Amino acid sequence: MIRKFTLLLTLALFIHAAYTSAQLTTRQAGFRAGYKSGLFYQVTKEQGNAEIAYQMLLTFKDDGVQFNGLRIVYERSLDNLSPNLFFSWGYGGHVGFMYSDNVRFMGEDYYFYDERFIPILGIDGWAAAEYRIPDIPLIVNLNIKPYVEVAIPAFVRVVPWDFAISVSYMF
Q: SS3 for the chain, per residue? A: CHHHHHHHHHHHHHHHHHCCCCCEEEEEEEEEEECCEEEEEEEEEEECCEEEEEEEEEEEECCEEEEEEEEEEECCCCCCCCCCEEEEEEEEEEEEEEEEEEEEECCEEEEEEEEEEEEEEEEEEEEEEEEEECCCCEEEEEEECCEEEEECCCEEEEECCCEEEEEEEEC
* 50 pLDDT tier (thresholds 50, 70, 90): confident
- What pLDDT is recorded for position 144? 97
Specify the number of domains making up the chain.
1
Q: Tell which wins on pLDDT, 54 or 117.
A: 54
* 15 pLDDT tier (thresholds 50, 70, 90): low
Give CA–CA dist 147/59, Å, rounded: 13
Is 21's pLDDT higher than 50? no
- What pLDDT is recorded for position 60? 87
CATH number at residue 11: 2.40.160.20
pTM comes to 0.79
For the segment 54-80, the average pLDDT, to the nearest whole number, is 88
Is 127's pLDDT higher than 50? yes
For the segment 60-72, the average pLDDT, to the nearest whole number, is 91
Of 158, 91, 96, 153, nearest to 121 by C-alpha is 96
Q: Tell which wins on pLDDT, 54 or 153.
A: 54
Query: Can you give the residue range of the structural domain that contains 151?
Result: 2-170
- What pLDDT is recorded for position 22? 44
Q: Are 100 and 117 in contact (CB under 8 A)?
A: no
* 11 pLDDT tier (thresholds 50, 70, 90): low
